[in-house]
């Protein structure tokens, strides 16, 4: 018999379906924030939101590297 694994904070881990739903919702909210930052013409905020977007995509697609396409040779 398998028992659900508890996290350190005492909560059970989300099911794969719940986790996918949460990541999908979060990704769309980040797109909204990025659009607002672009409208404000705040390039630093757009850059930071872009990094968060890449990290979220990295988390959502295990096995592929969204950060592999980023040029890390020169500081921005």
Q: Please write the tens of the pLDDT for every residue from 21-38.
A: 777 888 889 999 999 999
Of the CA atoms within 13 Å of residue 61, those in its CB half-sphere come to 11
Q: Say if 69 falls within a structural domain.
A: no
pTM attached to this predicted model:
0.57
Q: What are phi and psi of 12, to 5 degrees?
A: -75, 150
Contact yes or no for 70/54 (Cβ under 8 A): yes
Instruction: Tell whether 34 is covered by a domain.
Output: yes
Position 66 in a domain: no
Residue 49's Cβ-count burial label (10 Å; 0-12, 13-18, 19+) is buried
Number of domains in the chain: 1
- Full domain range(s) for residue 36: 16-61
Q: What are 5's two structure tokens? A: 């694994």
Chain segment 38-62, per-residue pLDDT in tens: 999 999 999 999 999 888 888 777 6
């Amino acid at each position: 018999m398998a028992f659900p694994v508890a996290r350190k904070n005492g909560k059970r881990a989300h099911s794969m379906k719940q986790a996918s739903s949460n990541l999908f919702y979060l990704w769309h909210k980040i797109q909204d924030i990025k659009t607002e930052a672009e409208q404000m013409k705040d390039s630093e905020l757009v850059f930071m939101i872009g990094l968060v977007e890449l990290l979220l995509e990295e988390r959502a697609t295990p096995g592929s590297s969204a950060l592999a396409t980023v040029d890390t040779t020169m500081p921005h």
